[in-house]
């Protein structure tokens, strides 16, 4: 390590002044202090506030793999609006046999009439397929504070003097959840937050010591992903594709040979099948446009970046490099065709063939309908 490189005395991350979203970020003037700390640790110490920080997958794996050697309770946070995109594959490999609580965030963006008991059952089946049997499942809105009390109750029930490790991908609301929990655990007294370097790593977790409890809440960096559309658009377009309130499902009765454009980020071609409804679950502010399949190419070329936005000019040309996913849906139970980081289109039990075009590298999957 460069001897001139300064290290955060709170979490152990190398200090840097160029990337606010990465570990070790601080303002240049802080580097002159005798015991410099990163902005994240500074905000923990002075404001009792945990800020999000993200790292690449190899660094994330190195950090969370240490959990398997600890006696821990793992709180796995996922995004309800993008469950598959926010899941961490091979989770058991990293956390060992430690018990898991599943916290599904952003319940507030689901349609208002959603049966949450059925959503919880759906989640349990999905994570069991992935080899995880959670001790409990909590559907919450960390930003609004809805149902977070249930997470606190689960932690008190299952921690049993284990430290609580909170893990998740970037932008799932992990740090917002931790800040809510800090407030709740602090109701019995003044919360004393301490930071310390996590042993054996270059980058660090942050340990939050809660008075009157025999465990710590350990905040881990979020893992950066590249397979979600929300990872790839510019900040302004991100506001258009991420729901900020309950989704209003939009139903389109389509004949074969018709196309839906979801902004300019996804093209849904109904190639064959009987006339049927397709239910679209996307952010309310995101425009959906219907046209004939025979006109779709020309419409895209003429209106991409205009009528069909996002993407905008600031997003870059990589979002115009589209890959085609050919999907044959069988007659049977309702299924969702999921575009990671954007939303999903529900097929209501009818057989059909559809072609879905999205930017290269973006995950597309078919699942049992969540709603």
Pairing of strands 250-254, 276-282: antiparallel
For 118-134, what is the HEC assignment?
Answer: HHHHHHHHHHHHCCCCC
Tokens of 252: 């389109």
Instruction: Give pLDDT, residue 4.
Output: 60
CA distance 78 to 126: 12
Instruction: Give pLDDT, residue 94.
Output: 92
CA distance 114 to 106: 13
Tokens of 242: 């991420």
CA distance 72 to 181: 17
Instruction: Give pLDDT, residue 229.
Output: 95
Tokens of 194: 């301490």
Domains of the chain: 39-223 (3.40.50.300), 230-368 (no CATH)
CA atoms within 13 A on the CB side of 286: 31
Ranges of residues in the chain with a pLDDT under 50 are 1-3, 187-203
CA distance 140 to 151: 8
The distance in angstroms from the start CA to the end CA of the chain is 51
Cα distances from 111 to residues 107, 246, 284, 361, in angstroms, run 9, 5, 11, 28
DSSP, collapsed to helix, strand or coil, labels residue 70 as coil
Angle between helices 148-158 and 174-185 (to 10 degrees): 70
């Amino acid at each position: 390590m460069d001897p001139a490189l300064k290290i955060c005395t709170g979490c152990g991350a190398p200090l840097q002044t160029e990337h606010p979203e990465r570990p070790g970020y601080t303002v240049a003037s802080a580097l002159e202090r005798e015991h410099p700390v990163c902005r994240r640790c500074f905000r923990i110490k002075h404001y009792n506030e945990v800020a999000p920080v993200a790292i690449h997958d190899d660094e994330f794996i190195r950090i969370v793999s240490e959990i398997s050697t600890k006696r821990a309770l793992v709180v796995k946070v996922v995004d309800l609006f993008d469950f598959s995109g926010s899941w961490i594959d091979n989770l058991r490999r990293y956390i060992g046999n430690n018990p898991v609580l599943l916290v599904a965030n952003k319940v507030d963006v689901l349609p208002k009439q959603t049966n949450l008991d059925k959503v919880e059952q759906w989640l349990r089946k999905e994570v069991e397929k992935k080899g995880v049997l959670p001790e409990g499942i909590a559907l919450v809105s960390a930003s609004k504070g809805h149902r977070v009390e249930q997470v606190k109750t689960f932690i008190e029930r299952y921690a049993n003097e284990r430290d609580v490790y909170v893990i998740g991908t970037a932008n799932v609301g992990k740090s917002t959840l931790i800040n809510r929990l800090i407030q709740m655990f602090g109701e019995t007294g003044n919360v004393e937050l301490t930071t310390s370097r996590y042993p054996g790593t270059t980058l660090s977790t942050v340990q939050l010591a809660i008075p009157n409890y025999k465990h710590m809440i350990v905040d881990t960096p979020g893992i950066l992903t590249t397979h979600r559309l929300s990872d790839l658009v510019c900040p302004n377009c991100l506001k258009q594709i991420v729901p900020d309130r309950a989704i209003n499902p939009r139903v389109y009765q389509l004949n074969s040979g018709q196309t839906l454009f979801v902004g300019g980020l996804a093209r849904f071609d109904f190639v064959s099948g009987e006339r049927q409804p397709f239910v679209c679950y996307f952010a309310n502010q995101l425009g959906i446009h219907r046209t004939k399949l025979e006109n779709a190419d020309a419409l895209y070329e003429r209106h991409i970046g205009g009528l069909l936005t996002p993407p905008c000019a600031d997003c870059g040309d990589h979002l115009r490099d589209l890959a085609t996913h050919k999907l044959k849906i069988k007659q049977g139970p309702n299924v969702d065709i999921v575009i990671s980081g954007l939303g999903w289109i529900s097929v209501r039990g009818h057989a059909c063939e559809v072609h879905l075009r999205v930017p290269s590298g973006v995950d597309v999957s078919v699942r049992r309908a969540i709603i």
